[in-house]
Amino acid sequence: MKEEFENYKVDVGHDVILYLEGITVSFDGFKALNALTLYVRPGELRCIIGPNGAGKTTMMDVITGKTRPDSGTAFFGQNYDLTGLSETEIAQIGIGRKFQKPTVFQEHTVFENLELAMKTYKGVWHSLFTRLTEEQRTRIDEVLHIIGLETRPYDIAGLLSHGQKQWLEIGMLLMQDPLLLLVDEPVAGMTPQEMERTADLLTSLAGKHSVVVVEHDMEFIRSIAKQVTVLHEGSVLAEGSMDEVQNNSEVMEVYLGH
Ligand SMILES: Nc1ncnc2c1ncn2[C@@H]1O[C@H](COP(=O)(O)OP(=O)(O)O)[C@@H](O)[C@H]1O
Ligand SMILES: [Mg+2]
């Protein structure tokens, strides 16, 4: 790991942690993102909605360095140009991403999954040859509580419910202490009770972390939403409170037209 990323020194002096400005991404001439401009404040919980193909996942791919924009700028704080960093470096400066499918280590316990997530981050050498410090144990306990699995540290991950696996994966991201968490469709396939707990979990993470949630389920978005951004055809169609965007005539047209 590069030394300069050991302690994230992300400059949020202007009260913005993520700057996306004029981002365009083309696939064979088709613009998946079209001059997308979006700002996220430190500690904010931002919901991103929009019909299929609006560019939501592509936006996350740009932030995490998986896809490079054809034009536009992407900055983390004022000082990290994301388009010039590798995916690994972007993870190391404090951006964590949760994909839709949980990718926990099925045959390991909940506790071991959290332990592995922490150590993987520190490198394989550490994971093979170091023991947990008291501080690390404390952090694992904290995260177990945050994700509501404090009574199940020794359960085998593969036997957890779908919702519990999703929470465990969020916990694994938390072991790396991300400043910004990107979460793509967290409640797909969840029971109503699991959705409710996920809403509480994501809400509790905001403040300490900036959280960007992409989700189709409107009921869920309504339950957590503060600031909502509607994407359509690769650009921002509307932004505001849930009520504001739901009453926006262009937004209604896009959703009804589907
Ligand atoms: N790797 C790719 N190659 C070609 N087209 C792509 C690729 N990734 C995404 N697209 C297209 O870009 C558009 C936006 O996709 P995506 O970002 O996945 O939308 P969303 O997540 O909002 O549903 C879609 O039309 C999709 O087919
Ligand atoms: Mg998507």
Decide if pLDDT at 123 tops 60: no
For position 166, what pLDDT does the model report?
Answer: 95
Which pair of structure tokens corresponds to residue 222?
A: 């309504």
For position 97, what pLDDT does the model report?
Answer: 95
pLDDT in tens, 192-231: 999 999 999 999 999 999 999 999 888 899 999 889 999 9
For position 135, what pLDDT does the model report?
Answer: 87
Domain count, the chain: 1
Ligand 2 centroid to Cα of residue 216, in Å, is 9
pLDDT confidence tier of residue 255, bands split at 50, 70 and 90: confident
Measured CA distances, 241 to 22, 90, 153, 181, 237 (Å):
23, 30, 38, 21, 13
Does residue 37 contact residue 17 with C-beta atoms inside 8 Å?
A: no
Decide if pLDDT at 103 tops 50: yes
Minimal-distance CA residue to ligand 1 atom 10: 32
Mean pLDDT of the 247-257 span = 86
Q: Ligand 1: which residues within 6 Å by Cβ?
A: 27, 32, 50, 52-58
What ligand has the least distance to the C-alpha of 188? 2
Ligand 2 centroid to Cα of residue 136, in Å, is 34
Ligand 1 centroid to Cα of residue 131, in Å, is 43
For position 54, what pLDDT does the model report?
Answer: 95
Dihedrals phi, psi of 181, to nearest 5 degrees: -115, 125
Decide if pLDDT at 142 tops 70: yes
H or E, element range at 183: strand 180-184
Ligand 1 centroid to Cα of residue 254, in Å, is 18
Ligand 2 centroid to Cα of residue 253, in Å, is 20
* Probe residue for ligand 1, chosen from 27, 28, 52, 97 as the CB with the greatest number of ligand atoms within 8 Å: 27
- Which has more confidence, 203 or 126? 203
Decide if pLDDT at 5 tops 90: no
Query: DSSP string of 57-70?
Result: HHHHHHHTTSS--S
For position 125, what pLDDT does the model report?
Answer: 55
For position 193, what pLDDT does the model report?
Answer: 95
Atom of ligand 1 nearest to the CA of 58: 17
pLDDT confidence tier of residue 65, bands split at 50, 70 and 90: very high
Which domain covers residue 185, as residue numbers?
3-256
Q: Measure the CA–CA gap between 188 and 162, rounded to whole angstroms.
A: 10
Minimal-distance CA residue to ligand 1 atom 16: 55
Minimal-distance CA residue to ligand 1 atom 24: 53
**Of the given ranges (2-16, 52-66, 129-143, 179-193), which has the lowest mean pLDDT?**
2-16
Pairing of strands 45-49, 227-232: parallel
* Probe residue for ligand 1, chosen from 30, 38, 58, 231 as the CB with the greatest number of ligand atoms within 8 Å: 58
pTM, whole model, 2 decimals? 0.91
Does residue 25 contact residue 31 with C-beta atoms inside 8 Å?
A: yes
**Of the given ranges (39-53, 83-97, 106-120, 146-160), which has the lowest mean pLDDT?**
106-120
Percentage above 90 pLDDT, the chain: 78
Decide if pLDDT at 2 tops 50: no
pLDDT in tens, 71-94: 999 999 999 999 999 999 999 999
Ligand 1 centroid to Cα of residue 121, in Å, is 29
Measured CA distances, 60 to 55, 95, 183, 245 (Å):
9, 11, 9, 21
- The mean pLDDT of the chain is 91
Q: What is the CATH number of the domain that holds 8?
A: 3.40.50.300
Atom of ligand 1 nearest to the CA of 52: 23
For position 161, what pLDDT does the model report?
Answer: 94
For position 3, what pLDDT does the model report?
Answer: 47
